[in-house]
Amino acid sequence: MAPKSLRNLIFSGESAYLSSLSIDCVIFGFHDNQLKVLLLKVKNAKEWSLPGGFILPDEDVDEAAKRVLSERTGLSKIFLQQFRVFGRPDRTDPGFHRQFLKKEGLILKDDHWLLKRFVTIGYYALVEYSFVNPAPDSFSEWCGWKDVNNIPDLMMDHREILESALHTLQLHLNYHPIGYNLLPEKFTMPQLQKLYETILSKKLDRRNFQRKIISYKILKRLKEVKTGGAHKAPYLYRFDLKNYRKALKNGLHGGW
Amino acid sequence: MAPKSLRNLIFSGESAYLSSLSIDCVIFGFHDNQLKVLLLKVKNAKEWSLPGGFILPDEDVDEAAKRVLSERTGLSKIFLQQFRVFGRPDRTDPGFHRQFLKKEGLILKDDHWLLKRFVTIGYYALVEYSFVNPAPDSFSEWCGWKDVNNIPDLMMDHREILESALHTLQLHLNYHPIGYNLLPEKFTMPQLQKLYETILSKKLDRRNFQRKIISYKILKRLKEVKTGGAHKAPYLYRFDLKNYRKALKNGLHGGW
DNA sequence: ACAAAAGTGTTACTTTTACACCCATGA
DNA sequence: TCATGGGTGTAAAAGTAACACTTTTGT
């Protein structure tokens, strides 16, 4: 028997939400020097999915995305960026949902709202990995991080959405506080470099990277040092938010 | 008495289109060395509006935008780029539409679909000015070009949409064939420069601009020359499409 | 004492900037 | 012939790329 929350959504969602519109979020985190994405394991299927949801009749679309985000991560302050609408009529697969819900004991009529065509608004979010408490939604049996270089099969066009988000991340690197939102408050230069390398999927020269980042004057070097590593202890930095914001306005003229 | 096309839209639109979703297009053209936007004069109101429309139940969203575009301009091949969703619940003003339609002799019920909240998908389009045959839609009494520096009062949040499109245009300048789509096939260097200056709202050095553009190798200089001007005849250029496309893929590393 | 990570410095090369000069054209 | 727009050149400054060397740390 399907849980009540799922039945509720299925049978009263039509009036509760704007029809034909959904939201999908690509939530990025950074951990172990790797870029991670928060994914959900769909119940009764081998596919995974992006965190998503619907929009309340009087809800700001950005607000709806925030709601989805906070339901999956437990976080309230989240860097969120709309990046593209996916509107092909065949992007939704009625068979998929019908199959999945049948196994939950829920039979949908042909004209059920969930089986209709959905236009989805893609958001990407940047969160600090260690603050996140992943929580599955009622379609899913599990929620957690996956390495961006090791993504399982995703349902529908979620793979395309993810790729598109990654591409957007590259373009936004010089214009949005991406480092700030993905890294912990204090971090080392090699960490920041690794983040840039991962997003750009490109090796960067250690020394030139450092010099360039420093030249932007968006970092404050702390007295402290990262201990515990097996080698020379790197300095810790934190973002100088005031300068960072100012610099991002015109873009960090970076040919990376 | 309202024309039939308008009555049709008003009274059968609910079932004919996806609900709560619309499309708004910012159509750019370039003429007289100025950037122009195609606007519609709303009937019975002082405000103007962006060309817009709705999405058919089984229509690709991009396709719907193309349809709107071609209805307003008469063009079929159009450079079209989705750029943002506008989803604040209060962005639509039920009073506005009710007033306007009342003057057309159409009384709408409180729960009429047109008075509901709409999420709109913003597109910008680039067209070759001289090919366009502006045609008003059933909400409008006139359709035509307005200088981007001299925009009249726009309805709802259309001003914000336009500004956002302009900003996107700036960001896309190095990544999309903006010059190619806005200029006629043959054009002069000063024309291209003026286009860049307008989009960036910034003066550029004539000589450095020329050198930089040339260095991209995306232009072919023709033997011909633009005659009729009051001064030295400038060379004509055309884009070398093959190289242009290739160069845009990695972006024209331009600090303009 | 050594391997590996991290800090710092130098030099050649490319790109950007800020200019000056000459040419063609219509009034 | 002159004012104006347009083509071309050059030198200084800034930024980028490609390097080597030293310091620190755990084993």
Q: Among all strands, which nt has the closest C1' to B206 (CA)? A: D6
Q: What pLDDT is stored for residue B228 in this prediction?
A: 78
Q: What pLDDT is stored for residue B218 in this prediction?
A: 96
Nearest to B112, CA basis, from B98, B99, B96, B92: B98
Q: Between chain A and chain B, how many beta carbons pairs sit less than 8 Å apart?
A: 61
Whether the pLDDT of residue B227 is over 80: the answer is no
How many CA atoms, within 13 angstroms, populate the side-chain half-sphere of residue B60? 8
Q: In angstroms, rounded to a whole number, what is the distance separating the alpha carbons of residues B49 and A53?
A: 31
Q: Are A37 and A152 a contacting pair, CB within 8 Å? A: no
- Min Cα separation A85/chain B (Å): 8
Nearest to B218, CA basis, from B199, B198, B242: B242
Strand C nucleotides with an atom less than 7 Å from a protein beta carbon: 3-10, 15-20, 23-27
Q: What pLDDT is stored for residue A226 in this prediction?
A: 75
Q: B66: which 2 tokens?
A: 């193309």
Cβ within 8 Å of residue A21, ≥6 positions away: A54, A55, A118, A119, A120, A121, B20, B21, B119
Q: A36: which 2 tokens?
A: 């991670």
Substitution target in A15, A17, A18, A123 with the highest count of B β-carbons within 10 Å is: A18
Interchain proximity B87–A62, CB inside 8 Å = yes
Q: What pLDDT is stored for residue B6 in this prediction?
A: 92
Task: Dump the DSSP string for B49-78.
Answer: E--EE---TT--HHHHHHHHHHHHH--SS-
Q: What pLDDT is stored for residue A1 in this prediction?
A: 62
Q: Which residue is nearest to nucleotide C16 (CA to C1')?
A: B208
Whether the pLDDT of residue B79 is over 90: the answer is yes
- Min Cα separation B46/chain A (Å): 28
Whether the pLDDT of residue B203 is over 70: the answer is yes
Interchain proximity B57–A117, CB inside 8 Å = yes
**List of chain A residues whose C-beta atoms are within 8 Å of the C-beta of residue B18:** 19-20, 117, 119
List chain A residues with pLDDT less than 50.
none
Q: Are B133 and B73 a contacting pair, CB within 8 Å? A: yes
Q: What pLDDT is stored for residue A253 in this prediction?
A: 80
State the pTM of this model. Answer: 0.95
Q: Are B127 and B79 a contacting pair, CB within 8 Å? A: yes
**List of chain A residues whose C-beta atoms are within 8 Å of the C-beta of residue B15:** none
Q: Are A135 and A71 a contacting pair, CB within 8 Å? A: yes
Q: What pLDDT is stored for residue B190 in this prediction?
A: 96
Interchain proximity A87–B119, CB inside 8 Å = no
Strand D contacting residues by CB (7 Å): A 205, 207-208, 212, 215, 225, 227, 229-233, 253-255; B 188-190, 206-208, 210-211, 229-232, 234-235
Q: How confident is the model at residue B225 (pLDDT cuts 50, 70, 90)?
A: confident
- Min Cα separation A125/chain B (Å): 16
Interchain proximity B85–A85, CB inside 8 Å = yes
Q: Are A237 and A220 a contacting pair, CB within 8 Å? A: yes
Task: Dump the DSSP string for B118-176.
Answer: -EEEEEEEE--GGG------TTEEEEEEEETTS---BSTTHHHHHHHHHHHHHHHTTTS
